[in-house]
Structure 1
Amino acid sequence: MNSDLFKGPFASAKDQYTFDSTNGAAAALETHWLTFFTEADIKTIAATGINALRIPIGFWAYDNDHTPYIKGADAYLEKAIGWARNANLKVWVDCHGMPGSQNGFDHSGQGGSVDWQQKSNLEHSISVLQTMATKYGAMEYADVVVGLELVNEPISYGNNKFSTTQDWTKDAYAAVSAAAANKNMKIIMHDGFQGAGKWTDVASTLNKGGARNFGVDSHLYQVFNDEDNKLDQKGHISKACSWSRNLKSANDQFPVYVGEWSAATNICVNPDGSTTAGTSCGKEGCQCQSEDFDKWNEKMVEQVRRYVEAQLDVFEGSTSGYFAWSAKGPGGWGFLNGIKKGVIPNPVTDRKFGGQCGGK
């Protein structure tokens, strides 16, 4: 998320685990926490019409025993919650990294092996969530903290069984619900990359008597597999529009959120405005989205804006809410960058290319 940190003495660090194991990490983290995301950023986000923030944090902020992880991030989450309250924004607290790593990706805290579903790690995860629920589910936070996400992006292959994830979710939900004084706080689970529809039985078990306290988070990108990377921008827009049916079908039964989406696709734009799939092109005047964000031309901005607007139309019409990944990501991955460049509408309800998915 911030490549500038991974230089000098931290050049060999691959994730937070190895970063925090490096001499000088505490001071570097403190500087990062102080400067990377500020109250001014929250005010800018609020001015676009966005009304909520999904804020990720690792388990080690609450229990770093027997790990090299450095505590302290929760103090800055506290600041962000206060800033959000001042800006009339709501907050989801998202447990983004779990003991043993739920996916082996660097953003879980430690890349590599996936050992989350070992019994001790699953139990440890629930213990951490109880701590979080006791704090953020207290009534003093009820005006601003509206959701707690149990775990971000657990994979459903290799060492992780999807059935185990779902069974654990029921136990975690019960523990979090009991610990939270605010009984209106949503308890959200990532779909394990299986789609929200695969969670209907779990949701019906947990949302008794017509309640909608348990919700599911789906992350929708079109940049991480070969099938998507063969599409031109019209193909990407068509696929985004096709998400609507399954999202709405599930959302009619229980809350469904798109907790992550982005403007990114691997396309190139020709001088005549037509697009092709890829990350390079030889035609004179052709530009690819993989090029330096600051150098995107008007035709690229228009094509990315078309894709963004199609996604927003789907999410507005078919889900209970959405969050861009991320507020301050690099280049086109940053919501604030996108607002400044014009690839994301401001306000977010503005449309230059309405009706792409058949609506008005």
Structure 2
Amino acid sequence: MLNKYVTAENSGGTNVFANRDNPSGWETFKLWRVNDTFFNLKVVNKQFVGKSSQEGNAIAVATIPGDTETFEIIRSPNDPSNVHLKASNGQFLQAKSGSSVMIDYQGSTDWSDQNPYVFDMTVVSLLPGEKQLQGEYQLTNGYGPENAPQVMQNHWKTYIKEDYFEFMSQNGINAVRIPVGWWIIYDQTPPKPFVGGSLQVLDNAFNWVEKHNIKVIIDLHAVPGSQNGHEHSGTRDGSAEWGDSYIEETVEAIDFLTKRYANKPGLVAMQLMNEPQAQHVPLNTLIKYYQAGYYKVRKYTSTAYAILSNRLGNAVNTELLLFARGLSRSVIDVHYYNLFSDEFEQFNVQQNIDYIKNQRASTLEEITQSNGPVTFVGEWVNEFANREPKSKQDYQKFGKAQLDMYGNATFGWAYWSYKCIHDHWSLKYMIDKGIIKLKKDQSCACVVL
């Protein structure tokens, strides 16, 4: 009715208003799903929208959501972006004036734009390329405790199968990088909403790699609190909160996994963390964790490598070198995608190839030093940011340039992933279609999710 955006004033800690002409941080709310239709609304300062006990004003002060901070989102049958927000007491959120948003309307409702209890709700991008979160947290939370276990069992049975490992072995792939979430250590009774069963899948993988003579890199892909806010990190709402307070719990995961698989001949490396984000993870905190995690690996095995991921974002390429030089059988992991940046949107095929041969070669050479740790291109993919039509020959040339360059990594490389709904993200598709041809003398790996 007011044609204004709802805002949590001062990013939280006080009243909610409807007085902004343009949306930004204060006007953006993260949704925590409770069930199919009920949600909590989280503001920038990590507080939740609820009702004041006295006047009925909408406020954002609670640090832990309860009944007062729980809303049913009721969508218009004619326009799903139009919603009513119904509080747990049966009253509706309404904005009759910009000076206050109230939770006090009760009575009949309709969907006219002139009604103060009708809002327009838009889902906005959290991260580049992510319209909405679709990680394991969202999947298991969305399906709920009754249906999620079966959904995940069906996924594991159809996505991680023995014939995949046989294919890898027959096509020059000598290792597989398997990402796991921290909750795997509580396998049968993990914290909600995660479901049990993933540890058995990892056990199966170790049996299959031994049978087909390939190795395993266990990759702690999702850590408590999330190290980067991406959906594959186990985040609930795009927040990244991993830090000093989570180190002990994260080290426990490394201890559990290494102890369980240290005597398996298939174990070649433990990856201590995937893609920490420089924006969220300070270097000194990361090194403190890497040191503790490294010694947990060494507690159980003197031969398995410990993989240390470089931070993503505004971080120095060589920032882990000095620390890692003192650690035997340590690996520096870098990820190279010609994606996720406006820069690559403008590149044609040859410019992408030149970038691999020049900039990628330079950064890889910088960390690949004779007296330092070995290096690992832990993720790459044969896809372009530029979506203009490209021929099979274009993909072959781009793939060859990457294989040639990433073959210089002294530990090897890993392709994302073995099988994917997006053809060029799938190594199996690349091999089956003759787009990528692997060299038998290259160490390599592929990712299985």
- TM-score normalised to structure 1 length: 0.78
Residue number in structure 2 paired with 1:15: 135
In the TM superposition, what are the counterparts of 1:303-342 in structure 2 within 5 Å?
303-330=394-421, 331-342=423-434
Deviation of 1:118 after TM superposition, in Å, equals 4.7
2:361 is the counterpart of 1:244: yes
1:87 lines up with 2:212 in the alignment = yes
Structure 1 pair 196–86 and aligned structure 2 pair: CA distance change class (3 A): farther
1:150 and 1:187 in contact (8 A); partners too: yes
Secondary structure of 1:215's counterpart equals strand
After superposition, give the CA deviation of every residue in 1:181-207 in whole Å (9 maximum; x if it has no partner): x211001111112465221111123x2
Please give the alpha-carbon distance, in whole angstroms, between the structure 2 residues aligned to 1:254 and 1:236: 28
Amino acid at match of 2:229: G
Matching residue of 2:286: 165
Higher RCO (C-alpha under 8 Å, 6+ residues apart): 1
Task: Determine which structure has more spread, i.e. the larger CA radius of gyration.
Answer: 2
Q: Equivalent residues in 2 for 1:279-294 (5 A)? A: 279-280=387-388, 287-288=389-390
Root mean square deviation, CA, Å: 2.0
Pairing of 1:1-360 with structure 2 (within 5 A): 14-21=134-141, 22-23=143-144, 24-63=147-186, 65-110=190-235, 111-119=237-245, 121-137=246-262, 139=263, 141=264, 143-157=265-279, 159-178=280-299, 180=300, 182-193=301-312, 194=315, 196-205=317-326, 207=327, 211=328, 213-242=329-358, 243-252=360-369, 253-266=372-385, 278-280=386-388, 287-288=389-390, 300-330=391-421, 331-345=423-437, 347-348=438-439
Equivalents in 1 of 2:251, 2:413: separation in Å? 25
Q: How many residues align?
A: 299
The aligned residue for residue 129 of structure 2 is none
Listed as ranges, the gaps of 5+ residues in structure 1 are 1-8, 267-277, 281-286, 289-299, 351-360
The CA distance in 1 between the partners of 2:220 and 2:164, in whole Å, is: 22
Could you tell me how far 1:305 is from its partner in structure 2?
Answer: 1.0
Q: Is the 1:251–1:320 Cα contact (8 Å) retained in structure 2?
A: no
Q: 1:37 to 1:343 in 2, by over 3 A?
A: same
- Please identify which structure carries the higher helix content: 1
Whole-angstrom CA distance in 2 between matches of 1:302 and 1:240:
17
Letter in 2 for 1:117: G
The percentage of counterpart residues that share the same residue type is 25
Q: Is 1:53–1:92's contact at 8 Å kept on the other side of the alignment?
A: yes
Q: What amino acid is aligned across from residue 102 of structure 1 in structure 2? A: Q
**CA contact 1:301–1:342 (8 Å) conserved in 2:** no
| Structure 2 segments unaligned to the other structure (5+ residues) | 1-35, 37-131, 442-449
- Asked if the contact 2:396/2:436 (under 8 Å) is kept, the reply is yes
Q: Secondary structure at the match of 1:221?
A: coil
Q: Is the 8 A contact 2:376 2:409 kept in 1?
A: no
User: Deviation of residue 339 (structure 1)?
Assistant: 1.1
